Structure 1
Amino acid sequence: MGGDVVIIGGGQAAASCAAKLRALGYGGTVTIVAAEPVLPYQRPPLSKKYVAGELERERLLIRPADWYVEQNVKVERGVAASAIDPARRRVSLADGRTLSYDSLVLATGARPRQLPAAIGGDLPGLLTMRDLADADRLAPDLKPARRLLVVGGGYIGLEAAAVAAGKGLTVTVIEAAPRILQRVAATPTSDYFRALHQRHGVDIREGISLVRLIARDDRAGGAELGDGTTIEADIVLVGIGVLPNDDLARAAGLGVENGILVDGSCRTSEARIYAAGDCASLLWQNERIRLESVQNAIDQGEHVAKVIMGETADYDPRPWFWSDQYDVKLQIAGLNRGYDSVIQRAGSRTGSQSVWYYRQGQMIAVDAMNDALTYSIAKKVLEMGHSIPPEQAGDASIDLKPWLKA
């Protein structure tokens, strides 16, 4: 099979799609358009080992440079796509060039949400954590005795807080919601990570609104909070979620609703245009969702390649996620949206536990903290379409392995 495939984006979905096309014997041209001046790289390590100085830049690369040469995959680095013309099947680049395509893949990812300018969201020196440039800006500032303020108690903010605390910084996390991780986890998981951070000296302030950021020496240097207190900081990092990069799709007339709308084949409203990864809004279990995870980016990118090669099966994701904070590895299987009850299970060693999510008595997700075995069992049971009863999930004396044969 031949023709021109253009992939817009420089992350995991883009690289996975290109690799799968070649693995399946695609003989046409494959071009990746990456706005950043680097080859496609992994993003999860940025807020963990990379910013901590424990991982070299080269090890972030999804594929080494020679792979692209050997596989005849062209990467246009440091140039953004500026427009899509579905009628002519052309992509305009910011440098004035155009690329023609037979199939176009949008793997444009997501961008950090910004604080409103009215409360200081446009102050110089304000940091986010999404790409390599963000990590490179933050890393030199992580020095002992400096003060870091993290706005937002989600996983990205907490991961950065953990790295900073480990390097001897004074760290404060402020969260407007009543508890950290409220949008993505149940209360027991929030409690676990709050206690973990507090043991490492991090000041966690929940249910506290941000009135405004304060400028010091012409850059972000602190915050005024809703309880009347003021926090001074040398570094201010904002981690309040992300927005899908769907502007190109919207301008081209594609269906967009909190992401680029795709069907079971990952096709957009234009038959020759696909979307994969954080930017894609897919229908899963009768609900529109975006799955912001490496696993989904890989799987969905590969699925697009299979569809281009003629496969007709629908994409059926099996969500899983992870987060590393201090010496704790959190592993999440399933998607906890719409849960109505939660069960806790003690782990086999100190500090390990799991949180099980149920909807109308059906297991839908599990958070496992330093409990790889429980995570593995739960993940496989979910993939089998089965459910472990709450009374068994919550009893640490019951062996769950037999459920793998159920």
Structure 2
Amino acid sequence: MSAVRRLMASILNSLPTKHGLSLWCPRADSLHPTHQPSSVGFSGFRRSYVAASSAFANDNREFVIVGGGNAAGYAARTLVEHGMADGRLCIVSKEAYAPYERPALTKAYLFPLDKKPARLPGFHTCVGSGGERQSPDWYKEKGIEMFYEDPVTSVDIKKQTLMTNSGKLLKYGSLIIATGSTTSRFPEKIGGSLPGVHYIRDVADADSLISSLERAQKVVIVGGGYIGMEVAAAAVGWNLDTTIIFPESHLLQRLFTPSLARRYEELYQEYGVKFLKGVSIKNLEAGPDGRVAAVKLGDGSTIEADTVIIGIGAKPVVSPFESVHLNTTVGGIQVDGQFRTSIPGIFAVGDVAAFPLKIYDRIARVEHVDHARRSAQHCIKALLSAQTHTYDYLPYFYSRVFEYEGSPRKIWWQFFGDNVGETIEIGNFDPKLATFWIDSGKLKGVLLESGSTEEFQLLPELARRQPFVDKSRLQNASSVEEALEVARTAL
């Protein structure tokens, strides 16, 4: 930082600033708090932070973002757009890289080396939403201070300071917690840390998995959710013997209906993927070389494997912030509709935020890239302005697999809304399929496989407006196109 910038930062840091103030400590059973008027919420509370001091490792202290994922990258971009980043913003992360579009790690990043796999800097934030690529140089050019590979270990709310793993003491004015999630792991005592056992959360994890795939023959994937489906598709591209194991009765049980899951399972089986459903795992066994060699099931049988990928879910990273109000029902840090915690000047966004899901009148925590982007943008705009409207998120999930060169069939589906009520399924995989969720006559959610751009654009409108639909007309539709037209006319 130049001498002039240091002087300006020192002056700015000695001045009081305005912050969004949560006058309500959100609770899971209260979605309709009574807030003070915005003039009180944003101007009635004054915070100050200490001028430049050698005691603190960061020069930029007005805004500090903890976390280096997508939420952090989009928050940084929003601060830049408002002219509030240069010399004011510090990001501290456990990652070795600038924020990137994490979904790539289980999709194009795992493509075989001869099928044009994705690599950094190609998928840095914010290319996933069509924005400018924020490479490490971008942060330098914008005057943003970055601390890599140094996660925060604790926060002192009274002193407004953070301690990092390396012992750095950081000062903040406004703190944005964007620590995201970490993978759920098998215990070490049952083989969860054996060589050849992989988890995927960051670039280093994906690189390690690719190294195994290059010499693998038999791959076992534990988990039938997003990670399981996407990694299995990549393993097929490597021409590997691939088995998916999970305790549920069908794939992606939290979203797919049994009949919808069956269609995807049949498609995967056409690619040679094998399924073991409704089974438990006792432990992972090592071979003579110490690497994983087999998966032992609860019934005593074993499945040979030289590479095992565990995809059994994730949990929010909240341990450094236990002094901030946590939500024991959905996990994460409780926030209001502006992503303000119960502690003035502290915010939480992305996977870690337990927020009011306005459209369905409940508290939710969403682990998805779309929410990471939108929550970060909403939070920063609320922090910097008198914006007082509640975050109004529409749940959205998607997956893309088998997209590599030479694949006979690409799979791309999108879902919007809430998967409640009864379902109506139309079509099949040649080429389209749609599932509609209807509750008390209203269309609550819709999933579309292999739709056109125009058809995909219709889905969020249907899910948000929740029109009453004629079920008999929908059930009698002869094609996906006809079914979508029935739903469109209901609007």
Shorter-chain TM-score: what band? Answer: over 0.9
Query: Which runs of no fewer than 5 residues in structure 2 stay unpaired?
Result: 1-16, 19-60, 126-133, 403-409
Q: What is aligned with 2:131?
A: none
Q: Partner letter of residue 391 of structure 1?
A: S
Cα distance change on mapping 1:170 and 1:100 into 2, 3 Å: same
From 232, 236, 254, give the equivalent of 2:304.
232
Q: Distance in 2 between matches of 1:316 and 1:31?
A: 28
From 8, 20, 24, give the equivalent of 2:78.
20
Q: What is aligned with 1:70?
A: 141
Please identify which structure carries the higher strand content.
1
CA contact under 8 A between 2:426 and 2:483: conserved in structure 1? no
Q: Distance in 2 between matches of 1:400 and 1:23?
A: 39
From 361, 365, 376, give the equivalent of 1:286.
361
User: Aligned to 2:197, what secondary structure does the other structure show?
Assistant: coil
Deviates more, 1:258-267 or 1:122-131: 122-131
Q: Partner letter of residue 267 of structure 1?
A: R
Q: Distance in 1 between matches of 2:203 and 2:441?
A: 42
Q: What is aligned with 2:417?
A: 334
Q: Distance in 2 between matches of 1:97 and 1:144?
A: 41
Cα distance change on mapping 1:399 and 1:322 into 2, 3 Å: closer
Larger Rg: 2
Query: Which runs of no fewer than 5 residues in structure 1 stay unpaired?
Result: none
Q: What is aligned with 1:358?
A: 438
| Over 6 Å off, 4+ runs | none
1:300 offset after TM fit, Å? 0.1
Is residue 380 from structure 1 mapped to residue 461 from structure 2 by the alignment?
A: yes
Q: Partner letter of residue 321 of structure 1?
A: F
Q: What is aligned with 1:60?
A: 123
Q: What is aligned with 2:266?
A: 195
What is the Cα-based RMSD across aligned positions, in Å? 2.1
Q: What is aligned with 2:342?
A: 269
Q: What is aligned with 2:389?
A: 313
From 117, 121, 129, give the equivalent of 2:200.
129
Query: Aligned ranges for residues 7-406 of structure 1 at < 5 Å?
Result: 7-26=65-84, 29-52=88-111, 53=113, 54-62=117-125, 63-143=134-214, 146-216=217-287, 217-250=289-322, 252-257=323-328, 258-284=331-357, 285-310=360-385, 311-326=387-402, 327-336=410-419, 339-346=420-427, 350-372=430-452, 373-394=454-475, 395=477, 396=479, 397-398=482-483, 400=485, 403=488, 406=491
1:402 offset after TM fit, Å? 7.6
1:37 offset after TM fit, Å? 1.2
Q: Distance in 2 between matches of 1:308 and 1:297?
A: 17
Percent identity of the aligned residues? 31
Q: Distance in 1 between matches of 2:93 and 2:121?
A: 17
Q: Partner letter of residue 315 of structure 2?
A: L
Q: Distance in 2 between matches of 1:30 and 1:253?
A: 22
CA contact under 8 A between 1:354 and 1:374: conserved in structure 2? no
User: Aligned to 1:296, what secondary structure does the other structure show?
Assistant: helix
Q: Distance in 2 between matches of 1:365 and 1:25?
A: 39
Q: Partner letter of residue 283 of structure 1?
A: P
Q: Partner letter of residue 67 of structure 2?
A: G
CA contact under 8 A between 1:377 and 1:400: conserved in structure 2? no
1:144 offset after TM fit, Å? 7.3
| 1:74-124 deviation digits (Å, cap 9, x = unpaired) | 221111111111111111122222221111001001011112344322434
Q: Partner letter of residue 488 of structure 2?
A: W
Q: Distance in 2 between matches of 1:343 and 1:104?
A: 46
CA contact under 8 A between 1:249 and 1:256: conserved in structure 2? no
1:389 offset after TM fit, Å? 4.1
| 1:21-47 deviation digits (Å, cap 9, x = unpaired) | 121232660111111111111110111
Q: Distance in 1 between matches of 2:365 and 2:101?
A: 19
1:215 offset after TM fit, Å? 1.2
CA contact under 8 A between 1:381 and 1:404: conserved in structure 2? no
CA contact under 8 A between 2:93 and 2:151: conserved in structure 1? yes
CA contact under 8 A between 1:334 and 1:364: conserved in structure 2? yes
Q: Distance in 1 between matches of 2:189 and 2:76?
A: 42
Q: Partner letter of residue 372 of structure 2?
A: A
| 1:220-257 deviation digits (Å, cap 9, x = unpaired) | 2211113442111110110001111111121x343343
1:405 offset after TM fit, Å? 8.6
The total of aligned residue pairs comes to 402
Q: Distance in 2 between matches of 1:145 and 1:135?
A: 15
TM-score normalised to structure 2 length: 0.77
